Amino acid sequence: MTRPEGTASIGANIVRRAILSGILLAAMGHAALAQTYGFATLPPGSLNHTTASAVAKVLKEKAGINVLVQPTAGDQIIVPMVARGEVEIGITNILELANYYEGGKNPDLRLIGAAHPLRTAFWVRKDAPMQTIADLKGKKVTLGYSAMRTIDTVSRAILATAGLTEKDISPIMVPNVVRSADDFISGSSDMFFFAFGGPKVREADATVGGIRVLDIDPAGMAAARKVTPYGYLADVQPGPVFIGVSKPMKVYSFDNVLITNAKVSDEVIYKMIATLDQNNADLVSVQPVLREFSAANLFKTYDIPYHPGALKYFSDKGIKARALE
């Protein structure tokens, strides 16, 4: 059978165009990864700044993704920056994100996933008679947190685990967690709130002659979730980080989350997650709290949309969303 004249030429042209298209798409992908991505976080010296630095280092060294860590004054600045697309990535806590997302009023916000838990506690003096959250009834308890409104919500949720409200305690109004610890050290309050790992916890322990974490009744978590649905109990063991913990116990926790904007490409988010998931040891060498980081731990059942690039990675790896513990 005789082939019509020009058929071979047409076929060759189609092949060449397909090859050129593939080359162009690959080049566009490499260009996307080659640009610099802003990463909004808290000031140097904070837990989140160290986390952002670890992530940026690994993405640059292992995937060639340029990430510029951009310190800000606080979460109330980080989330709007990401929502407006002024930076491509941010790290904040889930309560701050939920407050700003407001059920879709800031529709371009997207989750990458949970970076690591923030384990917190109410501490009292080691020789104090209080043993549980319920024992704070009638005691001087720091509250308010005018500069850290999320912490006020968390504190009220912890009180709710024992059926307590502001009416059952003697509130000591403070602007932030550092003031909470300072008031405790000075004797102005009977307890203080902080996250494990904070230098102020170690200072309080050394200054007052020892501190102890108050026990939380797991049965009270239903009441706590009426204050905020994002808290859960996490196990801790005695150890250098967990000051005031003398036995295995559960402490109130909520997540620090990585966030992005809907306009960031799927390819970039997918590549970021893959790189971080495959290089956990390098993350931990800079930020020890990331020892629990993994793609499986990123994906939780939050009512805020995940970025499509993240969802594709989870789907490709067969990762299912985990319920809050």
List the CATH number of the domain containing 203: 3.40.190.10
Domain match, 165 and 194 both: yes
Give the total number of structural domains in the chain.
Answer: 2
Q: What is the pLDDT of residue 324?
A: 83
> Does residue 59 sit within a domain?
yes
Please state, in angstroms and rounded to a whole number, the distance separating the CA atoms of residues 245 and 262: 41
> Does residue 3 sit within a domain?
no
Reported as a single tens digit per residue, the pLDDT across 95-134 is 999 999 988 889 999 999 999 999 999 999 999 999 999 9
Domain match, 123 and 146 both: yes
Domain match, 182 and 303 both: no
> Does residue 5 sit within a domain?
no
Q: What is the pLDDT of residue 272?
A: 98
Domain residue limits at 305: 30-117+255-316
> Does residue 12 sit within a domain?
no
Domain match, 250 and 123 both: yes
Domain match, 100 and 156 both: no
The whole-model pTM stands at 0.82
> Does residue 242 sit within a domain?
yes
Residue where a domain terminates, one of 254, 276, 293:
254
Give Cβ neighbours of residue 234 (< 8 Å, ≥ 6 apart).
Answer: 117, 119, 250, 251, 253, 325
Q: What is the pLDDT of residue 141?
A: 98
Q: What is the pLDDT of residue 38?
A: 98
Distances (CA, A) of 252 to 158, 171, 236: 7, 20, 10
Q: What is the pLDDT of residue 7?
A: 44
Reported as a single tens digit per residue, the pLDDT across 165-193 is 999 999 999 999 989 999 999 999 999 99
Q: What is the pLDDT of residue 14?
A: 47
Domain match, 248 and 261 both: no
Please state, in angstroms and rounded to a whole number, the distance separating the CA atoms of residues 48 and 146: 20
Q: What is the pLDDT of residue 46?
A: 80
What is the SS3 assignment for the chain?
Answer: CCCCCCHHHHHHHHHHHHHHHHHHHHHHHHHHHHCEEEEEECCCCCHHHHHHHHHHHHHHHHHCCEEEEEECCCHHHHHHHHHCCCCCEEEEEHHHHHHHHHHHCCCCEEEEEEEEEEEEEEEEECCCCCCEHHHHCCCEEEEECCCCHHHHHHHHHHHHCCCCCHHHCEEEEECCHHHHHHHHHHCCCCCEEEECCCHHHHHHHHHHCCEEECECCHHHHHHHHHHCCCCEEEEECCCCCCCCCCCCEEEEEEEEEEEEECCCCHHHHHHHHHHHHHCHHHHHHHCHHHHHCCHHHHCECCCCCECHHHHHHHHHCCCCCECCC
Domain match, 140 and 188 both: yes
Please state, in angstroms and rounded to a whole number, the distance separating the CA atoms of residues 137 and 146: 23
Domain match, 223 and 128 both: yes
> Does residue 18 sit within a domain?
no
Extract the residue ranges of the chain whose pLDDT is less than 50: 1-5, 7-12, 14-15, 18-19, 21-29, 32
Residue where a domain terminates, one of 200, 219, 254:
254
Q: What is the pLDDT of residue 23?
A: 45
Domain match, 151 and 249 both: yes
Domain match, 229 and 290 both: no
117 and 292 Cβ atoms separated by less than 8 Å:
yes
Domain match, 107 and 222 both: no
Q: What is the pLDDT of residue 159?
A: 98
> Does residue 127 sit within a domain?
yes
Domain match, 261 and 216 both: no
> Does residue 6 sit within a domain?
no
Q: What is the pLDDT of residue 147?
A: 82
